[in-house]
Structure 1
Amino acid sequence: MTDGGPTLLEPGGTNAVGRMLGILGDEWSLLLLGHSSRGLTRYGEFRRAMPISNSVLTHRLTQLAEHGLLDRRIYRTNPLRAEYLPTARSRTLWPMMLAIWEWERRWTGPAGEALPRRRHDTCGAEFAPLLTCRACGAPVEARDIRAAWGPSGGWERSVPASSTRRRPDSVTVSPQYPQTLEIFGNRWSSALIGAAFRGMVRFSEFESALGAPPTLIAERLRAFCALGVLESRQHARHPGRPEYHLTDKGRAFFPITALSLHWAQKWFVSPEGPALVQTHAACGQDFLAHLACDQCRQPLRTGTITIVPVIEDRTTHEGTA
């Protein structure tokens, strides 16, 4: 599939949120897209970069091509060989990937601290990406946004229609972004963090909204508490009914969620209208997630970010993102 416009969804079917979760809520697919953004295109390159089986790699590459995120092109006919090139649809994921880098760097301890820093070439400073409102330019946190279901919204339509098998816990998928993949690299985890940002705190609320098996909900809540993204609190009037509240670390994940939703509604369009309508309370305008440099407050754009490797002398070894 070559670069094209948005995918028009079927009326009454899975909406943009569900389609996004079905694609990005899979750790192998998310990792493949990360490697693709760094220039890998061929099967052998992906295979060497990831602890993935041939069958799983083939399946994920096929899926990503079908969803319009990779363009499969034959470069040799005897024997048959293909390469998988990023499309406009996958290239516009870079703000989300940048937000993932920042969250891991800030919140995951030594593993995050080992990630390379980045410099904004526009101002020359090392920076952190700042989530802002495109309409007014102001910095934004989850509490600043009013969200409501749109014409194609609702929890039932926002759950992916298909699922993928989780890897065995003994397999390490990515040493770079392990906690992001634990939260976002699974469709139920992605849906659960979204529900938490919508204000859900009780087990029964998560179960009713997501429609997932109770054992799966319980396992994900325990995992999120272990990661420090949620914390369990006893209900004031019902001590036997714990509530699950976002921590500072959990709230800091909001840019990843916001940017993925923005991407979803750009590329998957329902004829009934958007799945989620978000308003920035401060300016009253529709909220469109955007990243700016926290040092100069100018918008971040592709080609203006340089990786500064983690080495003693940063002045002699630099690469451009």
Structure 2
Amino acid sequence: MDRDPESGLSAIGQALAILGDRWVLLILQRAFLLRIRTYAGWRNALPISESVLAARLKELVGHDIFTLVAYRDGRTRYEYRLTPRGLDLWSLLVAIYSWERDWTGRQEAPFLHDLCGQEARPYLACGDCRKPMSARDTETIRGPLATFSRVGLPRQHRRTVRGDTGVDAYAYCPDSMEILGDRWSTTVLAAAFLGTRRFVDFQAELGIAPSVLTDRLRRFVELDVFRLVAGDYRLTEKGLAFFEVFAFLVDWAQRELAAPPGSGLTITHRPCGAALAPVLLCTACTQPLERREVHFELG
């Protein structure tokens, strides 16, 4: 179920509203990594209340990321299968894994490329010229309606309090959840990628309450995602590296979600002049990584 483009919400704003939630990301991660498909499977795998799980699954079905499929097991039961739109989020989740591997010190399970038999260690590249790509290699032009004031939605989910995850070998690390675990955090970082630096400019761009903005900026400085220099919040190398995730979020949103004309972003890879078409390449063989050709070597 797509949101009505007449509502004025950009595709990126819709994506933030759908994916900017810790439980949604963990549900999707388990669907890809552990092939969980049932309500009971997620209930047993995650420290989540039944009401929250039911609500998130309903939303993901509504957004055509999961579809309900009936099957027989003595009686009719239902499982949640990823749709083509949902399967297309695989690259985004791998990009999160790649950033965690490089910037959080977390020891991740080896990610193996079946075609070459080596550890893949994915990296972001331009889909046109296949050269490595970073935030510094891109130029972004906003559509005339691509203002961050159009991103906001009424608050859908209570922000998860830090430190309530417990011991979970598969969970995303706290750094990732501070950035992606709620809509405002991700929006603040997106605005930074587009050149916003000062508190008053973030507030004007996002239409965000000063107390919420103060909290997100403080946390980003603590995480070494931003550094504060003479009143400017500047992206650190760690923050700039998160562009890999942002690129796949923007690409997915603008391909999959209907939005008003003029509300999008045009991101260009400056060295070759091509529009953003992010791909993940294997460090060992430099070939594109496809979902069916890789696997995690889980303990």
TM-score (norm 1): 0.86
CA shift for structure 1 position 79: 7.4
Q: CA separation in 2, counterparts of 1:292 and 1:158?
A: 31
Instruction: Please state whether the residue corresponding to 1:146 is helix, strand or coil.
Output: strand
* Residue in 1 that maps onto 2:295: 306
* Residue in 2 that maps onto 1:182: 178
Check conservation: 1:70, 1:84, Cα contact below 8 A.
Answer: yes
Instruction: Please state whether the residue corresponding to 2:47 is helix, strand or coil.
Output: coil
CA shift for structure 1 position 294: 2.0
Give the AA of the match of 1:154: T
Instruction: Please state whether the residue corresponding to 1:28 is helix, strand or coil.
Output: helix
* Residue in 1 that maps onto 2:213: 217
CA shift for structure 1 position 150: 2.1
Instruction: Please state whether the residue corresponding to 2:268 is helix, strand or coil.
Output: strand
Instruction: Please state whether the residue corresponding to 1:132 is helix, strand or coil.
Output: strand
* Residue in 2 that maps onto 1:10: 5
* Residue in 2 that maps onto 1:33: 28
Q: CA separation in 2, counterparts of 1:80 and 1:151?
A: 50
Q: CA separation in 1, counterparts of 2:152 and 2:138?
A: 22
Give the AA of the match of 2:261: E
Larger mean Cα displacement after TM superposition, 25-34 or 165-174: 165-174
Give the AA of the match of 1:252: A
Q: Which runs of 5+ in 2 are unaligned?
A: none
Q: CA separation in 2, counterparts of 1:63 and 1:127?
A: 33
Give the AA of the match of 1:125: Q
**1:53 counterpart = 2:54:** no
1:97 to 68, 93, 97: 93
Q: Which runs of 5+ in 1 are unaligned?
A: 2-6, 236-241, 311-321
Check conservation: 1:159, 1:191, Cα contact below 8 A.
Answer: no
* Residue in 2 that maps onto 1:148: 141
Q: CA separation in 2, counterparts of 1:18 and 1:124?
A: 39
Q: CA separation in 2, counterparts of 1:216 and 1:122?
A: 46
1:80/1:220 CA distance change after superposition, 3 Å: farther
1:53/1:157 CA distance change after superposition, 3 Å: same
2:193 to 189, 197, 218: 197
Larger mean Cα displacement after TM superposition, 145-154 or 202-211: 145-154
Give the AA of the match of 1:155: F
1:42 to 32, 38, 44: 38
Alignment map for 1:94-133 (pairs within 5 Å): 94-109=90-105, 112-113=106-107, 115-133=108-126
**1:270 counterpart = 2:264:** no
Larger mean Cα displacement after TM superposition, 291-300 or 271-280: 271-280
CA shift for structure 1 position 180: 1.1
* Residue in 1 that maps onto 2:17: 22
Instruction: Please state whether the residue corresponding to 1:303 is helix, strand or coil.
Output: helix
Residue-by-residue CA offset, 1:2-51 (whole Å, 9 max, x unaligned): xxxxx474236111011000011011111111111231011111011111
TM-score (norm 2): 0.92
CA shift for structure 1 position 306: 2.9
Instruction: Please state whether the residue corresponding to 1:143 is helix, strand or coil.
Output: helix
**1:135 counterpart = 2:128:** yes
Instruction: Kindly name which structure, 1 or 2, has the bigger radius of gyration based on alpha carbons.
Output: 1
Q: CA separation in 2, counterparts of 1:271 and 1:196?
A: 23
Larger mean Cα displacement after TM superposition, 18-27 or 131-140: 131-140
* Residue in 2 that maps onto 1:316: none
Q: CA separation in 1, counterparts of 2:258 and 2:145?
A: 9
1:272/1:172 CA distance change after superposition, 3 Å: same
Question: Alpha carbon RMSD of aligned pairs, Å?
Answer: 2.1
Q: CA separation in 2, counterparts of 1:54 and 1:307?
A: 29
1:76/1:309 CA distance change after superposition, 3 Å: closer
CA shift for structure 1 position 308: 2.8
Give the AA of the match of 2:180: F
Q: CA separation in 2, counterparts of 1:219 and 1:134?
A: 36
Residue-by-residue CA offset, 1:72-123 (whole Å, 9 max, x unaligned): 23436997743211111110111111111111112112xx12x101122222
Larger mean Cα displacement after TM superposition, 73-82 or 274-283: 73-82
Check conservation: 1:15, 1:275, Cα contact below 8 A.
Answer: yes
Q: CA separation in 2, counterparts of 1:76 and 1:227?
A: 48
